[in-house]
Amino acid sequence: MRFLFVADPMESFKIHKDTTFVMMREAQARGHEIWVCEPQDLSWQQGQRVTAMARRIRLTGEAQGQSKSQVSWFEAEAAQPQALADFDAVLMRKDPPFDMEFFYTTHLLTQAEREGARVLNSPKALREHPEKLAILEFPEWIGPTLVTRDEKAIRAFHAEHKDIILKPLDGMGGMGIFRVGPDGMNLGSIIETLNQEGATSVMVQRYLPEIVDGDKRVLLIGGKPVPYCLARIPQGGEVRGNLAAGGRGEARPLTARDRQIGEALGPVLMARGLLLVGVDVIGSCVTEINVTSPTCFQEIQQQTGCNVAALYIDALESYLQTAPKEV
């Protein structure tokens, strides 16, 4: 099969931890062709199909050590125009942020679907599942949560729950997350910073003390939970467990509650074309549903031996064999 990965520049990959890299490696090991492009390489013109200036690549091995060139791990042919509909699958792996250019890219990918391309994760689902707000659909699995622009509502929520977390809706990697305890210290300043005098919506959640045991990333592949999660454990007095914020990753078997959450959400999200989802769980509560470019494959495999990339390519191959291709 021929797979096109729409991703960040290959030269920027940190292959010792990058999930897209191990997806490519597993696909190549099975004999699939690997092609790559960046979102800016996509275009459409009237009378033609959505096209990418794409490069066919071959993985040559893993660069040893960060001092060596990051381009030594692949060889690439010259870029050439390729219609997305001519690939067996187009894998949207552009990392956040979900900005307007990302949004426009999903519309180009939707047009490619009209022309027969099979795109995963579904561009429509990417647009309709913002990673903070997607939890609103599943209130039975989340903790006390408020989404508002209203300062008074935030203050009332704090008065009720005493210990709260505030975060922007467009943040990633733990960016812009604040905790306010019972004393309300700096609550006014934090509200001003996040909601910009009522211009920007903010998510407010009750602080979950179970965070000290980790913010768990539960992966759903093909609608089913992977047997292991990655608990991101805050370090050094930090409230955030995100790896990007210095959290320590610890792979663990799913708890009964983790599996229950995965089995409940997985089929619903898979039916919408979300082949890969990362559900964030603190304690027993879902806090986010990540769909743009979920990660943690390598950390889980390195610590448990579970080949998550193989599970993903298994699910992808199965999906392509059973899902009809539009024409």
For the annotated catalytic residues, the residue numbers are 132, 167, 217, 232, 240, 280, 288, 290
**Residue 119 and residue 113 in contact, taking contact as beta carbons nearer than 8 Å:** yes
Burial class (CB in 10 A: 0-12, 13-18, 19+), 191: buried
> 3-class secondary structure for the chain?
CEEEEECCCHHHCCCCCCHHHHHHHHHHHCCCEEEEECHHHEECCCCCCCEEEEEEEEECCCCCCCCCCCCCCEEECCCEEEEHHHCCEEEECCCCCCCHHHHHHHHHHHHHHHCCCCEECCHHHHHHCCCCHHHHHCHHHECCEEEECCHHHHHHHHHHHCCEEEEECCCCCCCCCEEECCCCCCHHHHHHHHHCCCCCCEEEEECCHHHHHCEEEEEEECCEECCEEEEEECCCCCCCCCHHHCCEEEEEECCHHHHHHHHHHHHHHHCCCCCEEEEEEECCEEEEEECCCCCCHHHHHHHHCCCHHHHHHHHHHHHHHHCCCCC
Q: Please tell me the distance from the alpha carbon of residue 262 to that of residue 105, in angstroms, as a whole number.
A: 29
Residue 177 makes CB contacts below 8 A (sequence gap 6+) with: 165, 166, 167, 171, 239, 240
